[in-house]
Amino acid sequence: MIRFRPVLVLVAALVVSSCAAIQELPIPAASTNFATAEAAFNILIERHVDKPSSTQLLNAALDAVQTLLVKMNDPSQTVTKPTFTGSPQSDFAKFATTLNDVVAANPKEDPKLVEEQATDGMARSMNECHTYYLDPNRAKGFNAPPQEYSGIGATITSPGPNDLVEIAQVFPDSPAEKAGVKKGDKIKTVNGEDMAGSTSDVVANKIKGPEGTTVNIVFVRNGVDTPIAIVRGKVTPPRVIDQTDEGNVGYISVSQLNGDVSTQVAQAVKRQNDAGVVGRVLDLRDDPGGDLSAAVDIASIFVKNATIVYQVGRDGNRTPLRTNDRMYIDSPKPLVVLVNKNSASGAEIIAAGVRANGVGTVMGEQTAGCVGIGQPRELPDGGLLLVTIARMEDAKTGEPLNGPGKGIVPDKPVATDQSGTDNQRLAADAFVRTGGRS
């Protein structure tokens, strides 16, 4: 029985929670020497679903610059704001003059950093999660799949404060699998050091290490000490984990929505259906989202010929986001979608579509309320501006899903157990085993 939530031996880098929809318009040539800030300003003015004013954006940009100056220099330093009139072109010219004055008065400050801060301030002024600026370094990892790390390739779980940490999942073709490590093996020692009473994080840090080095672990398997030497190797954390829980309940966890994740989910569903599962738990907790197409395809595995959510554009028109019916797989019910406060964007779209079409039950905690289409736009400095070009509404109720206090409210709320017990998964498993009656 899985009683505690798995912890990756080494955690992959977090990816941005954005549903990407590429439909770019050319960026006009810069009329000032602040090409990046100018490009971001024009994109927000012309594309953002909420139609921001130039006054809002430029005042926020200068507020952000002042915050930078106070942090780096004299706390009493202020930026004198010009009076903006609401005319984008003339307002940005005033802004550029002010920013030039700031750079001239602060020769020790890197002008690029000042411009980055101004650009970030404009994006933040939209006060919603799909609009943000990534500087050139952060842009390199945008929507990237899980990164390789050096380790044994397994997740671990802590059954209780006085119990040995144990293996929750062994990644396919990983060093752990090749060495014969099995799910349920309890970790007694790592390189001779007793792990009794250690937390999952402590054990994980003891196990990880450089590629090609050996970690010696004594596992307890069926009450017998089982020493295994594992040569650490490069491991890519899987985006999809599938298991069969007690009572023949299928379990699929999706960590993020990019790459071939929808294909992986479809393959897992087919494997579990062939094995005769009685129902399924789709775990989207802590899934920050990713590609819109992946969200649609995963929803379409469970929902057939239907509207998943409605998109609302800058013009206010509602457009149905429909299923991709070639992805549909007829599967046993019930279906539970597990979510929490970190389930965002595409993960929320999947949960909303499943519930709106009556094919599953949402359990867990209210989601992030970060549901929209964020379009990535390259900026002259090599960074990215994500700009929200459409919002989402529930396909059944018409309620907006994006914003503070919004998102998906579970049909069956189950709070996270702070002791570490995965009571949400236990509740979902019980619901499926009893045919949706618990």
pLDDT (0 to 100) of residue 147: 60
pLDDT (0 to 100) of residue 130: 87
Beta strands in 91-185 (DSSP E): 132-134, 149-151, 154-157, 166-170
In the predicted model, what is the mean pLDDT of the chain? 88
Domain ranges of the chain: 35-129, 148-235, 240-433
Return d(Cα 172, Cα 167) in angstroms, integer.
Answer: 14
Tens digit of pLDDT for each residue in 259-268?
Answer: 899 999 999 9
Return d(Cα 385, Cα 375) in angstroms, integer.
Answer: 8
Return d(Cα 354, Cα 112) in angstroms, integer.
Answer: 45
Return d(Cα 182, Cα 236) in angstroms, integer.
Answer: 19
Answer yes or no: are the C-beta atoms of 283 and 342 closer than 8 Å.
no
Answer yes or no: are the C-beta atoms of 287 and 340 closer than 8 Å.
no
Residue type, 271: R
Residue type, 305: N
> Buried b vs exposed e over 330-367: b needs ≥16 C-beta within 10 Å?
ebeebbbbbbbebbbbbbbbbbbbbbbbebbbbbbbbb
**Helices and strands per DSSP (H, E), number in the chain:** 11, 20
pLDDT (0 to 100) of residue 169: 72
In three-state secondary structure terms, 116 is helix
Has residue 434 got a pLDDT over 70?
A: yes
Has residue 19 got a pLDDT over 60?
A: no
**Average of pLDDT values for 247-264?**
93
- Closest to 321 (Cα-Cα) out of 371, 285, 269: 371
DSSP conformation letters of 186-221: EEEEETTEE-TT--HHHHHHHH---TT-EEEEEEEE
Q: What is the DSSP letter of 358?
A: T
Tens digit of pLDDT for each residue in 287-335?
Answer: 888 899 999 999 999 999 999 999 999 999 999 999 999 999 999 999 9
Domain 240-433 superfamily per CATH: 2-enoyl-CoA Hydratase; Chain A, domain 1 (3.90.226.10)
Residues in the chain: 438
Q: In this structure, what token pair is assigned to residue 137? A: 């370094």
Pairing of strands 279-283, 132-134: unpaired
**Average of pLDDT values for 107-118?**
92
Q: Could you tell me the CA-to-CA distances from 37 to 66, 220, 253, 386 in Å, in that order?
A: 16, 59, 40, 14
Q: Could you tell me the CA-to-CA distances from 76 to 71, 95, 184, 273, 337 in Å, in that order?
A: 10, 21, 60, 66, 52
Answer yes or no: are the C-beta atoms of 284 and 350 closer than 8 Å.
yes
CB atoms within 10 A of CB 135: 19
Name the β-bridge partners of 251: 243, 281
* Burial environment of residue 183 by CB neighbours within 10 A (0 to 12, 13 to 18, 19 or more): middle
**Average of pLDDT values for 86-107?**
94
pLDDT (0 to 100) of residue 397: 94
Which CATH code of 2.40.110.10, 2.30.42.10, 3.30.565.10, 2.40.40.20 fits the domain covering 148-235?
2.30.42.10
pLDDT band of 436, cuts 50, 70, 90: confident
* Cα dihedral value 43, 47, 49, 51, nearest 10: 70
